[in-house]
């Protein structure tokens, strides 16, 4: 059994969840956090035919049809994964491919120790990376229009 996320990971997750949650009030999109399954179907949406199940740290769904009591069926609009020591390879390789193939429109990777964010945007079925955002930058989502995150104040709150 792998260990749970460390304290910094949880702090980043909580602060980012809160920022998205507050922004999304009275908007059609909803935010969720792990542990809550995202079931990525291949050819069928029947539970017994779904073999790819992930639990992103944070995800946003703008299509309520994709939600059921067990989580999400289909690609979320935005997924955030927060790196922890020891999980970088899994986050950067395996999930990248799964999210791209499944049609996740925007995929954020946050490195809490380095205080950086890299955003992949899905364009014509392929991910295109942003530049590496760091403290002092203002990050905007292309999927959640109007959402902005000031990285200097965001990461300062982690100290």
Structure tokens at 20: 């998205």
| Residue range(s) defining the domain that contains residue 107 | 7-156
pLDDT tens digits, 8-47: 999 999 999 999 999 999 999 999 999 999 998 764 455 5
pTM of this prediction? Answer: 0.90
Has residue 87 been placed in a domain? yes
Residue 77 sits in a domain whose CATH number is: 3.90.1570.10
Mind listing the pLDDT tens digit of every residue in the chain (159 residues)? 456 778 899 999 999 999 999 999 999 999 999 999 999 876 445 555 556 889 999 999 999 999 999 899 999 999 999 998 776 666 677 888 889 999 999 999 999 999 999 999 999 999 999 999 999 999 999 999 999 999 999 999 988
Has residue 2 been placed in a domain? no
Has residue 134 been placed in a domain? yes
Has residue 31 been placed in a domain? yes
Has residue 1 been placed in a domain? no
Overall number of domains in the chain: 1
Spatial separation of the C-alpha atoms in residues 9 and 44, rounded to whole Å: 34
Has residue 118 been placed in a domain? yes
């Amino acid at each position: 059994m792998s260990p749970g996320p460390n304290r910094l990971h949880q702090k980043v997750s909580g602060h980012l969840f809160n920022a998205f949650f507050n922004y999304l009030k009275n908007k059609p999109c909803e935010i969720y956090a792990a542990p809550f399954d995202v079931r990525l179907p291949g050819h069928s949406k029947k539970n017994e035919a779904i073999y790819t199940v992930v639990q992103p740290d944070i995800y946003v769904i703008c299509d309520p049809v994709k939600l059921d009591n067990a989580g999400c069926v289909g690609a979320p609009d935005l997924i955030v994964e927060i790196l922890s020591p020891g999980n970088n390879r899994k986050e950067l390789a395996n999930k990248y491919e799964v999210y791209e193939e499944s049609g996740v429109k925007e995929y954020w990777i946050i490195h809490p120790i380095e205080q950086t964010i890299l955003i992949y945007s899905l364009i014509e079925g392929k991910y295109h990376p942003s530049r590496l955002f760091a403290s002092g930058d203002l990050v905007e989502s292309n999927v959640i229009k109007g959402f902005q995150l000031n990285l200097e104040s965001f990461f300062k709150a982690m100290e």
